[in-house]
């Protein structure tokens, strides 16, 4: 089964927003072995939209459309879809009631223009939107299903998982069963992973794919079999072999990010965490608090960018900074220990570095970073040089800190990552 993804909106063509929907939809389709062969974007022009819809229906087995389901004059997807495939628009009363209920829950009066979103092509299968006003729909163009979804990513993502994928899997009934998993790894580059796993998944029963999503690398074992049980059994065997080979490099399966894994382990062990940040400027605390329920283990943090802040807020001795410099392992240790003491935490992470693009020296080049993890039995620190742009340098620094927390709670060695690292 081959797919086309069509995203609609002038703002996409003008570069005003990043079109993340294409990547999300293609990745989700791949999980059920539907190959995305074409991706297109068109503006809010009826003629261009009609041409794109007809072309997609001719060359693909399934079409996913995102955008243009809103209530305003430039939201034309449903109108054009109906015209293109000779459908009348009819009012779907349950959708109109759902839209009115949506506004009532917010304590707001619905503008009558929102009623436009309840008019859908005659014969369409309605796809409920549980977190927005725009319902989606499924229209058949001959034998080709065309799924229309909202452009708002969080609405599209939920509807893709809950509405679209089950319907596509049902259409594949009777075909070879396909199942896939995602193993998330951190600390080893893609080529090194390939080398380490060179003898795994080579018998043809399971294929193994690799994908980099900095700073992680994802492994995607995919199994084809006659039954679900057989496919899952093959995946179980391969995933077990990968975990045994890579050990703590594999930190999660599926979509669980590292901050959620570390947080879950902290909660399970009844442990607490604090942070002291310089070069990461609050990014570490932001990542930790993305996770719902982080208040059960995260006590707080200090962003001590200036040396005076390090001294006043974390108790870092001025002479220590004078002897070693603010970007040094001794200062990172003092920051972590100061945060641990002040917050009364079981663990404390500290970051201090030169994220660039300037500020480096021969002794401490741009990209130098020092990370420390303070705990009851002592403080572990490391000094690295990551030759990266500012954004990725800070992201990688945060990921190492979170990984050290995870590894500590698992009793695994606090190894430094080999990806994007050179000796300091």
Q: Classify residue 416: in a domain, yes or no.
A: no
**Mean pLDDT, residues 74-81 taken together:** 96
Q: Would you state the pLDDT for residue 33? A: 81
Instruction: Give yes or no: residues 394 and 275 share one domain.
Output: yes
Quick: pLDDT tens for 94-141. 999 999 999 999 899 899 999 999 999 999 999 999 999 999 999 999
- Looking at the fold, whether 134 and 69 belong to one and the same domain comes out as yes
Task: Say how far apart CA 382 and CA 390 lie, in whole Å.
Answer: 19
d(CA 288, CA 311): 25
> Taking Cα atoms as reference points, which of 50, 120, 128, 55 lies closest to residue 87?
120
Kindly state whether residues 268 and 400 are assigned to the same domain: yes
- Measured in whole angstroms, how far is the alpha carbon of residue 160 from the centre of its chain? 15
The residues near 195 (Cβ < 8 Å, ≥ 6 apart) are none
Q: What is the mean pLDDT of residues 6-16?
A: 95
269 and 244 co-located in one domain = no
Nearest to 22 by CA among 32, 11, 35, 36: 36
Report d(CA 180, CA 34) in Å as an integer. 12
pLDDT at 148 exceeding the cut of 90: yes
Residue 424 located in a structural domain: no
Q: Is residue 217 part of a domain?
A: yes
CATH number at residue 122: 3.40.980.10
**What is the mean predicted confidence (pLDDT) over 342-366?**
96
Question: Domain end: 228, 253, 278, which one?
Answer: 253
Does a structural domain hold residue 301?
A: yes
pLDDT at 420 over 80: no
The CA R_g of the chain, rounded to the nearest whole Å, is: 26
65 and 124 within one domain: yes
Q: Is the pLDDT of residue 146 over 80?
A: yes
Query: Residue 180: pLDDT band by 50, 70, 90 thresholds?
Result: confident
Residue 423: per-residue pLDDT: 37
Q: Could you read off the pLDDT of 312-350 as tens digits, one per residue? A: 999 999 999 999 999 999 999 999 999 999 999 999 999
pLDDT at 1: 85
87 shares a domain with 19: yes
Whether 363 is covered by a domain: the verdict is yes
SS3 65: strand
Same domain, 246 and 266: no
Same domain assignment for residues 157 and 211: no
Structure confidence at residue 419 as a pLDDT band (50, 70, 90): low
Note whether residue 321 is domain-resident: yes
Please report whether residue 422 resides in a domain. no
Q: Is the pLDDT of residue 422 over 60?
A: no
pLDDT at residue 31 in the model: 81
Residues 226 and 371 grouped into a single domain = no
- 192, 224, 253 — which closes off a domain? 253
Name residue 343's beta-bridge partners.
Answer: none
Name residues whose C-beta falls within 8 Å of residue 112's C-beta, 6 or more positions apart in sequence: none
Mean local confidence (pLDDT), 282-311: 98
Expressed as residue numbers, the domain containing 204 is 177-253
Choosing from 253, 278, 295, the residue where a domain stops is: 253
Band (179; pLDDT cuts 50, 70, 90): confident
- Stretch 61-73: mean pLDDT, rounded? 95
- Six token digits for residue 329: 């392992």
d(CA 248, CA 188): 11
pLDDT at 177: 79
SS (H, E, C) 334-393: HHHHHHHHHHCCCEEEEEEECCCCCCCCCCCCCCEEEEEEEECCEEEEEEEECCCCHHHH
Q: If we measure between CA atoms, which residue out of 421, 422, 419, 416 comes closest to residue 191?
A: 419
CATH code for the domain in which residue 361 is found: 3.90.950.20
Token pair 């909106």 is found at 9
The reply to whether 17 and 166 lie within a common domain is yes
Higher pLDDT, 115 or 415: 115
Mean pLDDT calculated for residue range 371-389: 95
Same domain, 105 and 133: yes
Largest CA distance in the chain: 79
200 pLDDT more than 80: yes
Residue 424 has pLDDT above 60, yes or no: no
Same domain, 239 and 274: no
- Number of separate domains in the chain: 3
């Amino acid at each position: 089964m081959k797919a086309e993804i069509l995203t609609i909106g002038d703002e996409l063509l003008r570069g005003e927003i990043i079109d993340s929907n294409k990547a999300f939809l293609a990745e989700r389709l791949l999980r059920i072995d539907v190959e995305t062969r074409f991706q297109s974007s068109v503006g809010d022009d009826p003629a261009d939209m009609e041409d794109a819809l007809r072309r997609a229906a001719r060359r693909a087995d399934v079409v996913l459309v995102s955008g243009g389901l809103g209530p305003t004059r430039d939201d034309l997807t449903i109108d054009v879809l109906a015209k293109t495939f000779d459908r009348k628009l009819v009012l779907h009363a349950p959708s109109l009631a759902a839209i009115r209920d949506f506004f009532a829950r917010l304590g707001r009066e619905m503008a009558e223009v929102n009623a436009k979103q309840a008019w859908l092509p005659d014969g369409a299968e309605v796809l409920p939107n549980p977190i927005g006003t725009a319902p989606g729909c499924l229209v058949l163009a001959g034998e080709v299903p065309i799924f229309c979804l909202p452009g708002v990513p969080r609405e599209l993502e939920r509807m893709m998982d809950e509405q679209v994928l089950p319907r596509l899997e049902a259409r594949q009934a009777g075909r070879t069963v396909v199942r896939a998993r995602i193993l998330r790894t951190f600390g080893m580059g893609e080529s090194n992973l390939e080398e380490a796993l060179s003898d795994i998944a080579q018998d043809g029963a399971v294929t193994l794919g690799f994908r980099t999503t900095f700073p992680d690398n994802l492994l995607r074992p995919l199994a084809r079999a006659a039954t679900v049980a057989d496919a899952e059994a093959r995946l179980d065997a391969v995933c077990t072999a990968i975990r045994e080979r890579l050990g703590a490099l594999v930190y999660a399966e599926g979509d669980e990010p590292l901050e959620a894994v570390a947080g879950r382990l902290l909660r399970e062990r009844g442990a607490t965490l604090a942070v002291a940040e310089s070069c990461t400027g609050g990014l570490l605390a932001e990542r930790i608090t993305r996770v719902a329920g982080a208040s059960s283990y995260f006590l707080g943090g200090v962003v001590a960018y200036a040396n005076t802040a390090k001294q006043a807020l974390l108790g870092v001795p001025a002479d220590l900074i004078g002897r070693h410099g603010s970007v040094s392992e001794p200062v990172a240790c003092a920051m972590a220990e100061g945060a641990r003491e002040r917050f009364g935490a079981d663990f404390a992470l500290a970051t201090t570095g030169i994220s660039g693009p300037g500020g480096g020296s021969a002794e401490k080049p741009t990209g130098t970073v020092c990370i420390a993890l303070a705990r009851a039995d002592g403080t572990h620190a490391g000094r690295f040089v990551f030759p990266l742009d500012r954004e990725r340098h800070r992201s990688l620094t945060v990921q190492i800190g979170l990984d050290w927390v995870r590894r500590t709670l698992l009793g695994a060695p606090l190894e430094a990552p080999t990806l994007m690292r050179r000796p300091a």
